[in-house]
Amino acid sequence: MYNLRNIIFLLVCLQTIKFCYCKETLAKDLKFKLKSGDLMPMVGLGTSRIKEKENVEDVLDKAFAAGYRLIDTAKLYGNEIYIGEALKILLPKHNLTRRDIFITTKLAPEDLGDKAYEALKDSIQKLNTEYVDLYLIHWPGAADNLNNSIKRDKTWELLAKGVKDGLARNIGVSNFNIRHLNQLLKNDFGVRPAVNQVEWHPNYHQDDLKKFLDKEGILLQAYSSLGGSSNDNLRKNEKVKEIGKKLGKSPVQVLLKWSLQQNNAVIPKATSQKHLEENIDLNFVIPEKDMIILNTFSQKKNSWNSEDID
C-alpha cells in the first residue's frame, strides 16, 4: 500500500514536471503588450514582394495554418488589396475572426503630411477591415524630401486622430533614428509611438537606438532579419551555420532567435510551407557565448539609410 502511494506521488510529480516543461511559450504565442493594452505577436509574416493575388492567398493560407497571426504589409508593397481579398476567404476557413489577427500597414512617403488620415482610411478599405492594429510611418522623409520634419508633425497629429476615431489601434514609425524619435516625442499629440520597425540582423544593429527604444518603452520590430530577399549571404554565413549545427537548428532559425532573444519582434518574409513552418519554430535558446559571436559581426546596412533625412 505504502509503495503504491509512493508510485502515485512519483507519477503526479512527473506529470507536473512535464506540464511545467511544456508550458514554455511557443514562438507563435509570444506576445508583447503594447501601451494600448493590445497584445502584439512577436513573430509575424513579412509580405514585401509577395504580389500576385493567388500568391498572397496561398502564402497567407499556409501562414495561418502554421500559426502566424500577424501580417506586415504597406501601401508601398502593392498587396493590401490582395490581403483584404484573401482574408475574406481565409478567416472563416481557419476558424478565425478579425480580432484573432494583427494587421500592420504603413503610410507611404507620398502621403506624409496632410494626406495621412485619408491614406490610413484608404489602406483600411483595401484591407477589407474596419481598423488596423498598427499603422506605421514607413519612412521619416516625404517623397519630395522637402519639409520632412513639419510633415512628420502633421502626420502624427492626423494619425493620433486616427487612433481616437478607432481607425488604428496603435501607431508607430519605421526607419526612424533617435533624432526623428526625439522630435516626435516632444509633440506626440497624446499618443506615443508603439513600435519602431528597423533593419536589424547580425550584420546591422544599432545598439544606441535599441537602448533608446527600451528606455522609451517602444518595441523594436526587426526587418530583414534573414539579411533580406536580395542576397543570402547572412543565411550562408559560416558562423551562423556552425551555431545552428551545434544547436540542431537551421541558420535562419538562429538569425530569428538572435533577434527574439534581445526582445525584438520579427517579421520574416517567406513563401514556401517549409520556410514558413521553420521560421515560427523557435523554441530553443542561443547560449550567451554564441550571442556574443553573433553580436560582433562586421556592420553594413542593406536597406535605405535615414540618417540624412532632416
Ligand X SMILES: NC(=O)c1ccc[n+]([C@@H]2O[C@H](COP(=O)([O-])OP(=O)(O)OC[C@H]3O[C@@H](n4cnc5c(N)ncnc54)[C@H](OP(=O)(O)O)[C@@H]3O)[C@@H](O)[C@H]2O)c1
| Residue 123 · residue 135 · CB < 8 Å | yes
Among positions 42, 194, 267, 280, the unique one binding ligand X when judged by CB under 6 A = 267
Q: Angle at Cα 261 formed by Cα 256 and Cα 264, nearest 5°?
A: 75
**Per CB under 6 A, 269 contacts ligand X:** yes
Among positions 56, 107, 112, 226, the unique one binding ligand X when judged by CB under 6 A = 226
**Per CB under 6 A, 109 contacts ligand X:** no
Place of cell 549571404: 233
Among positions 270, 280, 286, 309, the unique one binding ligand X when judged by CB under 6 A = 270
Rounded to 10°, the helix 251-260/288-295 angle is 100
Among positions 46, 140, 193, 202, the unique one binding ligand X when judged by CB under 6 A = 46
Pairing mode of beta strands 39-41, 31-33: antiparallel
Task: Write down the least CB distance from residue 292 to ligand X, Å.
Answer: 22
Instruction: Give the range of 155-163, 176-184, 206-214, 219-227 binding ligand X by CB under 6 A.
Output: 219-227
Backbone angles phi, psi at 171, to 5 degrees: -130, 155
Q: Which is nearer to ligand X, 47 or 177 (CB)?
A: 47
Q: Which is nearer to ligand X, 155 or 279 (CB)?
A: 279
**Per CB under 6 A, 268 contacts ligand X:** yes
82 is a catalytic site residue: no
> At a CB cut-off of 8 Å and minimum separation 6, what does 163 contact?
169, 170, 171, 191
**Per CB under 6 A, 80 contacts ligand X:** no
Please give the distance of CA 73 from its chain centroid, rounded to a whole number: 10
Q: Which is nearer to ligand X, 173 or 191 (CB)?
A: 173
Return the H-helix or E-strand segment holding 33: strand 31-33
Q: Does 275 appear as a known binding residue?
A: no
Rounded to 10°, the helix 116-126/148-164 angle is 50
Query: Which residue of the set 68, 77, 82, 135 is catalytic?
Result: 77
Contacts to ligand X from residues 157-216, by CB under 6 A: 174-175, 197
Backbone angles phi, psi at 199, to 5 degrees: -65, 130
Radius of gyration of the chain (CA): 21
Among positions 16, 25, 233, 272, the unique one binding ligand X when judged by CB under 6 A = 272
Instruction: Give the range of 5-13, 82-90, 181-189, 272-280 binding ligand X by CB under 6 A.
Output: 272-280
Among positions 223, 243, 259, 306, the unique one binding ligand X when judged by CB under 6 A = 223
Computed from CA positions of residues 51, 94, 90, 38, in that sequence, does the dihedral angle turn out positive or negative?
Answer: negative
**Per CB under 6 A, 117 contacts ligand X:** no
Instruction: Give the range of 40-48, 62-70, 85-93, 111-119 binding ligand X by CB under 6 A.
Output: 40-48
Cell of 195: 513600435
d(C-alpha 88, C-alpha 159), whole Å: 26
Q: Which of 150, 143, 209 shows the shortest CA–CA distance to 176?
A: 209
Among positions 30, 34, 42, 48, the unique one binding ligand X when judged by CB under 6 A = 48
Task: Write down the least CB distance from residue 77 to ligand X, Å.
Answer: 7
d(C-alpha 78, C-alpha 81), whole Å: 8
The identity of residue 141, as a single letter, is G
Residues of each annotated binding site: 138
Residues that bind ligand X (CB under 6 A): 46-48, 72, 138, 174-175, 197, 223-229, 235, 252, 267-272, 275, 278-279, 303
Residues taking part in catalysis: 77
Residues of each annotated binding site for substrate: 138
